[in-house]
Amino acid sequence: MKGFRIFVAGVLLAMAATATAQERSYTEGHVTAVTSVKVMDGQFENYMHFLDTTYKASMEAAKKAGLILDYAVLAGSPRRSEDADLYLIVTYPNLGALDGLDDKMEPIMAQATKMNMAQREEASGKRTVMRTILGTELVRELTLK
């Protein structure tokens, strides 16, 4: 009987050690989309005007609707001529917030910009003279416990 108790105690200790080892030292947090933008020479003020008007109105409306938590525009110091000048930062509550986001954003964008989808696509195409989108990266905040 004593051997059985020692065996059970050993099993319980092993299970406790395994549970502790599997516990993460962080929690998953917000998800941020970081879009790298290369602004064309001589177009910085024009692009900033777009960001201050149409883009800002759209982001504020999305924030008010609870689709995004926050947004920001950051200036970079490019080391090479092909590096980004600006970074557009949009923070979402979690990865699930990205599911069906286009459908959720459509009425918000239509109201904020006073344009339908085709008009917004055309306007985006015309902005290529001002900037090139180099890409978007998703990053997730990990909060240490």
* pLDDT at residue 127 greater than cutoff 80: yes
Quick one: pLDDT at residue 4?
47
What are the C-alpha distances in Å from 94 to residues 6, 32, 109? 46, 9, 21
| Partners of 139 in the β-ladder | 32
What is the set of domains in the chain, with CATH numbers? 26-144 (3.30.70.100)
75-121 pLDDT, tens digit per residue, is 999 999 899 999 999 999 999 999 999 999 999 889 888 888 888 88
Residues 6+ apart with CB under 8 A from 101: 67
What pLDDT score does 124 carry? Answer: 85
Asked if residues 138 and 88 have their Cβ atoms less than 8 Å apart, the reply is no
What SS3 class is residue 133?
strand
List pLDDT tens digits, range 27-59: 999 999 999 999 999 999 999 999 999 999 999
- Amino acid sitting at position 74: L
CA distance 101 to 31: 13
One DSSP character per residue, 8-67 reads HHHHHHHHHHHHHHHS-SEEEEEEEEEEEEEEPTT-HHHHHHHIIIIIHHHHHHHHHTTS
